[in-house]
Structure 1
Amino acid sequence: MYRPAGAGAVSEQETAQRGWTSGLSFILAVTGAAVGLGNIWRFPYMAGEHGGSAFLLLYAGFVLCLGLPIMAAEIMIGRAGGRAPLQSMRWLAERSGVSPRWGWVAFWGGATLLMVLSFYSVVAGWALDYTVQSLSGQLAGRSPEAIGRAFDALLASPWRVVADHTLFMIMTLGVVAAGVRSGIVRLNNWLVPLLYVLLIALVIMVAFMTDGVLPALRWLLTPDFSQINGSVVLNAMGHAFFTLATGACSLMAYGAGMPARQRVLPVVFTVAVLDVLVALLAGVAIFAVVFDQHMTVSQGPGLVFVTLPIAFAEWPGGSLWLGAFMGVLVVATWTSSINMAEPLVAMLEDAGWRRRRAAWMVGGSAWALGLLSALSFSVLAGVRPLAGMSLFDVMTALPTDIMMPIGGLLIALFAAWRLERGRAFKGLGAGPLGFAVWRGVTRFSAIPLLAVVFIATLVTAG
């Protein structure tokens, strides 16, 4: 519930009960929330559509200049407030002598999370479908053309896509409704390392099985500044926020249960490095197949679901490899989705809702919203509401490229300029020098850069 004036900080015992029993479990949990579809599915196809090395360079730069300080601000607010995002923002605003309307930032974040969760579930449903197809051998031995047609057939089947979307949403909200947080912590403790092991193994196997690794590395790592334009900048900035899971207030919920002795800055730096590493590994593996098979790099959202089956189809035991990869992607997406839904459920709980009712309300809303994305390749394929973009494009671009950066800007403004210094200092846990550096970078670098880049790219794109 919303902490009344004068209430104290969350105790170390309360923190342990929330599941973050160690610094390592907290890092793995935040990494598990950040690493998922954004790195393995969205980064490759966004890089393919926006210049490869140009997109990667901007994305990594935005992670460093914007993602790190704002991610630290979001976790710090949650740690200082000690409750759900809305309650933390309101209480901290009250204790800092500023308007409680800052709590509306949490509502903005909630709307962002709901939109992200809606399309996340649709894409995770594709991965669920591919996991079944892979393990049953349906994709084994198929030609590249046949695999491409199989993905098109999946998207063109509204009942199949909606069924996959529904199953994944039930999986997600079933866990949230039960309140099983310690189970998610244990899952992260083995899932996140497993994801890295599998990705590294995939890159090694691709290096032995194809001739595309060096071309992929050159394409991703050789700067090509001619590819940079307003659209690339805006998409790279939005992707940096999306993959770090920042700008939507979800990390405030993590910060509320952060171990008392842990420092925020080393955590966000570690998570950022791991996040970019996953994107790079996935990009190398996927584009190595693209170049080896002489395929086009700009295949859109279906890139992962076409190139990986092509690669695995030629390998010994390829169906098992593909099934394992898709299965890990499903579970990684599952944990991220659970952690997106949790702050929304927590806000409804603090408004007096019972947990199960709140969970199914969040799930039902996200499921209904997700139908726009699920059906945008079939019965709603002709609907192009914005600049010729499909509903799926709108539903993915709006929260990631627009809403998350705006949310990040508001969070940074509150944390660096409005939050009472003593509470910010204690929440960050970085010492006098670390706090001074963070606040200076956030105030005079991250906030102005984010505002200028966001406005300039919107004007250019318009």
Structure 2
Amino acid sequence: MSEVVERWSSKRAFILAVAGAAIGLGNIWRFPYIAGENGGAVFFLLYVFFVLAMGLPIMAAEIMIGRAGRRPPIQALGTLAASVGRSQGWKLIGVLGLVTVFLVLSFYSVVSGWVLEYLREVVTGTVVTGPAEQVNASFGNFLEDPVRVVGNHTVFMVITMAVVAAGIAKGLEKLNNWLMPLLYLLMIALVIYAATTPGFGAAVHWLFTPDISKLSMKVVLNAMGHAFFTLAVGACALMAYGAYMPEHQSLPKAITIVALLDILVAILSGIAIFSVVFTEGFDPAGGPQLVFVTLPLALGALPLGHVLLGMFFALLLFATWTSSINMAEPMVSTLQDKGMRRPMAALWVGICVWAFGLLPALSFSSLKEVHLWAGQSIFDVITNIPSDLFLPLGGLLIAIFAIYVLDPSKAEEAYGAHHAGFVLWRAVTRYAAIPLVAIVLLAAALVMLKPFLSDNEVTRWVFAHIGA
């Protein structure tokens, strides 16, 4: 098959598309609770550093490969490897990427379905906002209801694949052009309200004034892992977007803007959420349930709380929607490259992801007694393995391919900047990004292998320092 003929219509469209891919659950759901569990400002500053030193260079590498190959990920990797006489085995990076996005999208759709449920309850006035026991019970009852969980999972997959089926100009680009600005407007509105709450000052201080006593190897590793996760790199999804990138766009300028937008959303969501948390005296280390339990409890006690809660879940839905579309795109474009029409490719991808997503969807109800790896639930395994292991492995291999396999002249052309900037990117990727992501991968592998490793002083010391 020939190279893709579709392109983003403008530089702005490409930036909004990549921003939509990067900004999702990682920024609005995961960042607040993981920052809460890791000391606030210390974690945040490390996260920003690792976004710049590790996330950005690998994001550039991934998009660069797609732009140089102008094909779906597997085909682009194979073509570029063949052009320099290297093994077609490098195509396996693309295969790993497809497996990763398939697994991630399957549970992403389920969690996004939770957001849909809460948004519906806010709109209909049935959301439970107190007392604490009832809020916890309401969330637990919902997870144990297979009809509601699967129903919301189904609705989310339908609206996601409908956009992907429409194509680049009519689907992905049009949605991003109005959804991303709206997302920022909603976020700013929430922060403006947060500024009027008693907990605003405490939230700002907690996020921006580091307490060095909170610094530990566990915090460092968590900051590295989150910086990698939040930029949506490592699954070849951005490689698919790179194939549609405009010819004369500067890649470093584009990804720098995306990284700044990504960090900005994390800051705004942190301020908005923790202002409410501190106002109501809740624990900032509230864990993954911070959004679904703590926020309804906190906002329900405030003036206009239901309005703010609706705005927040609408914001979260928009973010997860654009990220999910990004994950579906490489699977759909791969089937297109095999000769399948886009609408049919989107239908088949949607059906397969939806069917597999029934496993995490039912892991709190019909399948809650089923435990897999080291006693973990189905949901935990499907969530942890692709996010903690496959994404950094894919990112590491993508960076290695870009530095050591891709023709340097093609790489520089795809990078789209002055020679000095390209040389700097290569140096940062080779000597900073690759070693850092290798550390993330090693730490994740050790955590997953912990139940199978012998219990001795060495392993106890290692796991104590990485927080496992």
| 2:278 aligned partner | 291
Q: Name the structure 1 match of 2:367.
A: 380
Tell me the alpha carbon deviations over residues 286-321 of structure 1, each in whole angstroms, 9 at most, x when there is no partner. Answer: 122222222233333221122332343244443333
Give distance in 1, aligned partners of 2:407 and 2:338. 26
Q: Name the structure 1 match of 2:388.
A: 401
Which residue of 1 is the match for residue 180 of structure 2? 192
Matched AA of 1:321: L
Residues 391-430 of structure 1 correspond to what in structure 2 (within 5 A)?
391-430=378-417
| Partner-residue secondary structure (3-state), 1:377 | coil
Q: Structure 1 residues 386 and 280 mapped into 2: Cα distance closer, same or farther (>3 Å)?
A: farther
Counterparts of 2:369 and 2:378, CA distance in 1? 9
Specify the code of the residue in structure 1 equivalent to 2:32.
P
C-alpha change, 1:140 and 1:296, in structure 2 (3 Å) is: same
Residue 132 of structure 1 pairs with residue 120 of structure 2: yes
Q: Distance in 1 between matches of 2:26 and 2:321?
A: 13
Counterpart-to-counterpart distance in 1, 2:193 and 2:436:
40
Measured after TM superposition, the shift of residue 453 of structure 1 is 4.5
* TM-score, length-scaled by structure 1: 0.90
Query: Quick one: structure 1 residues 452 and 32, their matched pair in 2 at CA, closer, same or farther if it must change by over 3 Å?
Result: closer
Amino acid at match of 1:367: W
Find the counterpart in structure 1 of residue 194 from structure 2.
206
Write out aligned runs for 1:19-34 (5 A).
Answer: 20-34=8-22
Residue 7 of structure 1: aligned partner? none
TM-score w.r.t. length of structure 2: 0.89
**For 1:21-64, what per-residue CA distance to the aligned partner results, in whole angstroms no more than 9, with x for missing partners?**
11111111110111111111111122233333343233222211
> How far does residue 324 in structure 1 lie from its aligned partner after superposition?
3.1
| Residues 183 and 348 of structure 1: CA distance in aligned 2, closer, same or farther (over 3 Å) | closer
Q: 1:160 aligns with which of 124, 133, 148?
A: 148
Tell me the residue number matched to 2:454: none
Query: Structure 2, unaligned stretches of length 5 or more?
Result: 447-461
* 2:22 and 2:230 in contact (8 A); partners too: yes
Partner of 1:150: 138
1:35-50 maps to which residues of 2 (within 5 A)? 35-50=23-38
Matched residues in 1 for 2:73 and 2:121: separation? 40
* Aligned residue in 2 for 1:258: 245
1:233-244 equivalent positions in 2, closer than 5 A? 233-244=220-231
**Paired residue for 1:323, among 310, 326, 330?**
310
The residue number in structure 1 matching 2:327 is 340
Q: Which whole-Å deviations, capped at 9, do the CAs of 1:330-377 have from their partners, x for residues lacking one? A: 232112211210111111222343434432332222223322322233
- Tell me, in whole angstroms, the C-alpha distance in 2 between the residues paired with 1:366 and 1:129: 20
Structure 1: gaps (5+ residues)? 4-9
SS of the equivalent of 1:236 reads helix
Match of 2:438 in 1: 451
Does residue 1:221 correspond to 2:205, yes or no?
Answer: no
Task: Provide, for residues 194-234 of structure 1, a one-character-per-residue CA deviation record: whole Å limited to 9, x for no partner.
Answer: 212211221221221x3222222333333345545555444
1:60 matched to 2:40: no
Pair 1:222–1:393, CA change in 2 (3 A): farther
C-alpha distance 320-217 of structure 1, shift in aligned 2 (>3 A)? closer
1:179 aligns with 2:174: no
Give the C-alpha shift of residue 327 in structure 1. 2.1
Return the alpha-carbon distance in structure 1 between the equivalents of residues 311 and 232 of structure 2.
25
Query: How many residues matched?
Result: 449
Structure 1 residue 180: Cα displacement: 5.7
Question: Does the CA-based 8 Å contact 1:108-1:407 persist in structure 2?
Answer: yes
What displacement does 1:384 show? 4.1
User: Where does structure 1 differ by over 6 angstroms across 4 or more consecutive aligned residues?
Assistant: none
Give the 3 Å change call, closer, same or farther, for CA 52–406 of structure 1 in structure 2: same
Kept in 1, the 8 Å contact 2:183–2:318? The answer is no
For the residues of structure 2 that align with 1:193 and 1:178, how far apart are their CA atoms?
21
Q: State whether residues 238 and 400 of structure 1, in contact with CA within 8 Å, keep that contact through their aligned partners in structure 2.
A: no
- For residue 291 of structure 2, give the secondary structure of its aligned residue in structure 1: helix
Check 1:216–1:394 CA distance in 2 against 1; reply closer, same or farther (3 A cut).
farther
Task: In structure 2, give the amino acid aligned to 1:426.
Answer: E
Q: Aligned with 1:305: secondary structure?
A: coil
1:142-169 per-position Cα deviation (integer Å, ceiling 9, x unaligned): 4444333322221222221111111111
Q: Which moved more, 1:431-440 or 1:321-330?
A: 321-330
